[in-house]
Copies of this chain bind each other. A is one copy, B any other.
Amino acid sequence: QHTWAAEKFAMKPSDPCKRLVLFYHDILYQEGDDLANATSASATNHTKLGGDFQFGRLVIFDDPVTLDRNLHSTPVAHAQGFYFYDKKTDFNAWMTYTLVFNSTHYKGTLNIMGADLMGVKTRDLSVVGGTGDFFMARGIATIMTDAVEGIKYFLLKMDIKLYECY
């Protein structure tokens, strides 16, 4: 006998059961900045292990997520979570966040985590769970840096492919 859950799993990696392409905008608050624009702030400073590459800086964010590159487009979700820099010899980060959807299209969340290997063009995070319209989902979020201004601002393209859909 067959199960309800397994029936909706992907047949192969090239064939996700759901796919979303989204853009994530992070504007880090720094001393003297306009608070109104900022979407993230450092909870900790970099450590002695690396000022140049910010080793140890942990940033908490509530970032708008849009359907295109335009920061001023109406957000379709918010990414709530944190990242931190974790390499002595280069920029490299680790991040986890929840995509919170509350639109006419989608209501629910996707929970994501993984290494953000900033030196690599595309890198894969794990989608480890979902709720609401994304009930129990799993998959891969491929991220790509689309624009960056130091540690002050970055724009990530997220190509989210779900391979387990209930």
Stoichiometry, as copies per complex, reads 3
Could you tell me which A residues sit within 8 Å of B by CB distance? Answer: 1-7, 9-13, 29, 35, 38, 40-44, 47-49, 55-58, 60-62, 80-82, 84, 86-88, 92, 94, 96-98, 100, 108-109, 111, 113-115, 117, 124-132, 135-136, 138-140, 163-164, 166
| Residue in chain B with minimal CB distance to A88 | B62
**Majority SS of interface residues in chain A?**
strand
| Residue in chain B with minimal CB distance to A89 | B62
Judge whether B124 and A131 touch: CB under 8 Å: yes
Partner of A87, one of B62, B113, B114, B115: B62
Partner of A49, one of B35, B57, B109, B115: B35
27 contacts between A and B (CB under 8 A): A3-B9, A4-B9, A4-B10, A5-B9, A29-B49, A35-B48, A38-B49, A43-B47, A44-B44, A47-B60, A55-B60, A55-B62, A58-B58, A60-B84, A62-B86, A62-B87, A80-B115, A82-B86, A98-B115, A109-B114, A111-B125, A113-B128, A124-B132, A129-B138, A136-B138, A136-B139, A136-B163
